[in-house]
Amino acid sequence: MGVLIAGAGIGGLTAALTLHAKGIESTVIEKVRDPKPLGVGINVLPHAVRELEELGLGDRLPEIGVATAEHVYVDERGERLFVEPRGLAGGYDSPQYSVHRGKLQMLLLDVVRERLGRDAVRTGSGLLGFEQDAGEVRVRVPDGTLTADVLIAADGVHSTVRAALHPGEGPLQWSGTRMWRGVTEGDSFFGGRSAVLVRGLKAEMIIYPIGPNSINWVVLAREAGPGPLPGDAGWNTPGDVTDVLAHVGDWDFDWLDVPWLVSNSEGLLEYPMVDRDPLPHWGTGRVTLLGDAAHPMYPVGANGASQSIVDARVLADELARDFPGGLAAYEKIRREDTASVVAANREMHAALDARSAADLAATTAAYRQQTAADR
């Protein structure tokens, strides 16, 4: 194999498509035998949508998501504090989409199989370990060993490859904030293309549509100061609606009944807001990292999936220029850029006290500048 990609998430599948567009074939291995559209809503920012448009997916995105036109900041009475135009309405060349994470993953999976062949994604074949020498990488999977020129680890925040490359890194870093997320069938608000960010005194909430009559919501509540995460970050841990209502149970806006929204969610997930400090290097030799495996970050800037998509494009560009030596250039470019995003997300999370229009405008402008989102 030329390139072996571990992980069939958004980053790994986009990498397969961008490499294919550059004439570099790859194979994706995924531990899940039958991938399903799991998860909740995410945002794909304009700079990442542009990359998907370059891959010929621009016409497919409106079928699975909502083109977000604005971010509306409100207080815990539901009254507007500040409005930030987004996507095309904000002057960007590409839209911003709010989508169900699983639907985007399934779209990418279908397109990879269409373009690279059904065997390009090997499910039920998770990476167990690897070794490399000057000429190749050997990857252990449940049914044997695969050999490749390059290994790209897109195997998520609990990356097996990252743990092998950086032993003793320690636990994930917890922000001190706990999150509950869900998706509820209900009527849209503000015209159906607005993401609302509620700035409460004790909790924050993010609410946005991800399809016709489908509303994604997130509640964030501070429980402690930042520090090492006690225990594990289980992304699919069921949440308790009583815990959520303890924070937002009295938020009843004239345009949305928040307790109803939470109580009628199709599913409720709970997990801590975590990230990791940037690494001094990602990989070595013929092995590197991509997406959450390389740069787990707070979701406050809606940038995690978007950064993995940009990773994929830069990876393909550099490997097309120099194979396999381009891995070093890819790391240099993306490690510096994503370290800035990790820092910006931490700063954005720390700025929860910003509630005036002037403070919110300054905070969002600083975030765009630090993350090069307007580039």
Q: What number is the average pLDDT over the span 121-138? A: 97
Give the start-end residues of each E strand in 20-128.
26-30, 41-44, 65-67, 70-75, 80-85, 97-100, 121-123
Strands 70-75 and 194-199, by their bridges, are parallel
Q: Which amino acid is at 225?
A: G
Whether the per-residue pLDDT at 231 is higher than 80: the answer is: no
The reported pLDDT for the residue numbered 92 is 95
The reported pLDDT for the residue numbered 374 is 65
The reported pLDDT for the residue numbered 235 is 65
The reported pLDDT for the residue numbered 302 is 84
- Chain centroid offset of residue 321 CA: 27
Q: Which residue has the higher pLDDT, 68 or 236?
A: 68
Q: What number is the average pLDDT over the span 48-61? A: 98
Whether the per-residue pLDDT at 118 is higher than 90: the answer is: yes
Considering the segment(s) 3-170+276-370 as one domain, its CATH architecture is 3-Layer(bba) Sandwich (3.50)
Q: What number is the average pLDDT over the span 63-72? A: 97
Decide: helix, strand or coil at residue 302: coil
Cβ within 8 Å of residue 133, ≥6 positions away: none
Any idea how long the chain is?
375
Whether the per-residue pLDDT at 298 is higher than 70: the answer is: yes
Closest C-alpha among 121, 132, 108 to residue 27: 121
Give CA angle at 137 (135, 143), nearest 5°. Answer: 140
Which DSSP symbol is given to 21? Answer: H
| pLDDT, tens only, 248-287 | 999 999 999 999 999 999 989 999 999 999 999 999 999 9
Domain layout of the chain by residue ranges: 3-170+276-370
Q: Which of 44-53, 71-80, 225-234, 285-294 has the lowest mean pLDDT?
A: 225-234
The reported pLDDT for the residue numbered 375 is 61
The reported pLDDT for the residue numbered 295 is 98
Q: For residue 152, give the H/E element and its range.
A: strand 150-153
pLDDT > 70 fraction of the chain, expressed in percent and rounded: 99
Q: Give the integer Cα–Cα distance in Å for 162 and 186.
A: 41
Q: Are 327 and 335 in contact (CB under 8 A)?
A: no
Quickly state the pLDDT bin for 300 (edges 50, 70, 90): confident
